[in-house]
Amino acid sequence: MTRRRALTLIVYAPALMGNNSRTVAVVHGMEKAFPGLRLEWKLDEGGRPIALPQRDAWLLASNKDGGFPIVCNGDERYPVTVWGMESSGILSPGGQAQLEVHAKLPLDEPVIAAAATLLEAVAEGARSFWGHASPYGYGSEVAQQFRRSPDGPERSPRGLPMLNLPEKLPAPEIPCFLGWVNYWSAAAAEVIGFPDPARDAELLSRARRTPSGGWIVQLTETPLDYDNPVHLDALKRAYERFPAIGGRSTPLP
């Protein structure tokens, strides 16, 4: 049986403090961004969906350990999930603990069409620093870009620049890497120098401002494919344009 392709969406936000309503805002935002979506189920220990008649109250009461449990749409044939976890300050930029919100949806035409709106809803609801939506599997590619030794290579096997590990970055507003659709808060956009109308015309043609003053920036027209030379070139150009991403201090040669 062919495994269904998936879209992974992750945003990085300030850590939760107590019964924070941002968790509810994230879920409401996803439902509004994707018509017909209802995230009104949790999963039991066996992975089976259980209805949540008082979902919002349950979410607020479940803000433990800096995150929130999985909620889903209850459809095992078309699974949509979202959950949150706290990333320790030891492993996070600036030494500050963060809330990571993870969502996963089938990578089909309706989701592709709604990807930017979904990312905006989750990122703004969580009041994120930055985030991205990318086809599942992007992580193995990005992992090859992280610099784990000062004597390591200057480029990944794909020819992409090496990036500093998240815990090496001095501030949480610095995006760690690029994805297919990117969310940059107003603070993150300022850090990386976006937008510059003279240099970012192509990116601005696939970008829009968010209500909080952040930006949604789609790197390629179709979901990012590292085996597509056109997509790989787009990634290389974007990394060259934004050397602050991944904590690089100077533009690529």
**Helix, strand, coil percentages, rounded to 5, for the chain:** 30, 25, 45
Q: Residue 3: its pLDDT value, please?
A: 61
For the chain, 253 residues long, the average pLDDT of each consecutive 10-residue run is 80 88 97 98 94 95 89 97 96 96 98 98 98 96 94 92 95 97 98 97 98 98 98 98 88 37
Number of H helices, E strands in the chain: 7, 12
The bridge status of strand 130-135 relative to strand 181-184 is antiparallel
Q: Residue 150: its pLDDT value, please?
A: 85
Structure confidence by residue, pLDDT tens digits, 157-168 = 999 999 999 999
Q: Kindly report the backbone phi and psi dihedral angles of residue 159, in degrees, each rounded to the nearest multiple of 5, phi listed first.
A: 85, 15
Q: What is the pTM of this model?
A: 0.95
Q: Residue 253: its pLDDT value, please?
A: 36
